[in-house]
Amino acid sequence: MVPYSEKEKLAQTNPVLVTTTRGPITENRHTGSLAIAHNQEAIRDGWGDIERGILPRSSVKMIQALPLMESGAADTAGLTDEHLALACASHEGAAEHTTRVAAWLAAMGLGEDALLCGPQWPRDRALKVAGVPPSRILNNCSGKHTGFLAYARHIGAPRDAYLDPDGRVQRDVAAAFVEITGCDSPPGYGIDGCSAPNFIASVAGVARAMAQFAAPAADTRGAAMIRLRDAMRTHLVLISGEGRACAALIEASDGRAVVKTGADGVFTGIVPESGVGFCLKIDDGNTAAAEALCAATLVHLGVLDDAHPAVERYARTPIRNFNGELCGERRVTLPA
């Protein structure tokens, strides 16, 4: 597996997938990689070095939630699909997110201080205007961390060690990650912004994992995958927020696809009707470029119409100045 740190090699091997123009100038060129997997294992299409190792960040929260489901912890605790969506969320910290996370913690006899994700300023506009200070429950990963706490409680693991890479909770997350991505065991990891270990896998490996969510086996893990992915597309605002790309693209596809962003230019996608999963990584970590490539991938897969307004918003984005004048465009090109 090629370490992601080899920046110069990436610049040489990965194609330009997204460009922005301003007048006659191509102002930005974003290289990256994209893998599309079909029927759980086979890579159907690939652009760039899809075997290099990346940190998929929050795009794989549905994998991190598998132990919660497979252990029976979710059913024992009576968790609803709203809880499961929050466990997979990178949310805005709006009231609809934080009240649900707080209630979930309270049901376990816990408060915000049990969260180890660190405080975060609110992303929600209304809370910003109101001057709400940073807190752990506002952290966009607070739902995932509450899911970790629910799993720790179920298996009797120390709640103050649920992020320890050598502790039971993260060992079980790592085991699930290895099994469905085919990455190295034990997997290497980096520490995510929310302080949780984020395990390394190839772009192709994550795409194959998403294809398993799209066409799961008829077993306990498959049932867990179906429940998680369906919770995400049913409660799409809970996994992100109003106006965010994940919610907007799921809605634009009429729920035919489930997509999930990760920091620094990563996106994953699940298309149950065709058994397809994908993973993409923009090398320079540009969020707008990753959103553009995700939207274009959904068009490529036939689950989003090229004429849909969401495609213009994300994949053919007009660039305007403060006077509203058209100055350029962001556009995706998948090399033949």
> How far is Cα 21 from Cα 42, in angstroms, rounded to an integer?
35
Q: CA angle, corner 253, sides to 251 and 200, nearest 5?
A: 90
Fold of 7-332: Beta-lactamase (3.40.710)
Amino acid at 87: A
Burial (CB < 10 A; 0-12, 13-18, 19+), residue 217, is: exposed
Output the tens digit of pLDDT for each of the chain's 336 residues: 444 455 445 555 899 999 999 999 999 999 999 999 997 678 999 999 999 999 999 999 999 999 999 999 999 999 999 999 999 999 999 999 999 999 999 999 999 999 999 999 888 788 888 888 989 999 999 999 999 999 999 999 999 999 999 999 999 999 999 999 999 899 999 999 999 999 999 999 999 999 999 999 999 999 999 999 999 999 999 999 888 999 999 999 999 999 999 999 999 999 999 999 999 999 999 999 999 999 999 999 999 999 999 999 999 999 999 999 999 999 999 987
Domain locations in the chain as residue ranges: 7-332
Task: Quote the pLDDT of residue 76.
Answer: 97
> How far is Cα 191 from Cα 122, in angstroms, rounded to an integer?
22
Contact status, residue 18 vs residue 285, Cβ threshold 8 Å: no
Task: Quote the pLDDT of residue 13.
Answer: 84
Amino acid at 286: N
Task: Quote the pLDDT of residue 161.
Answer: 97
Burial (CB < 10 A; 0-12, 13-18, 19+), residue 309, is: exposed
The residues near 214 (Cβ < 8 Å, ≥ 6 apart) are: 229, 270, 271, 272, 274, 275, 276, 277
pTM metric for this prediction = 0.94
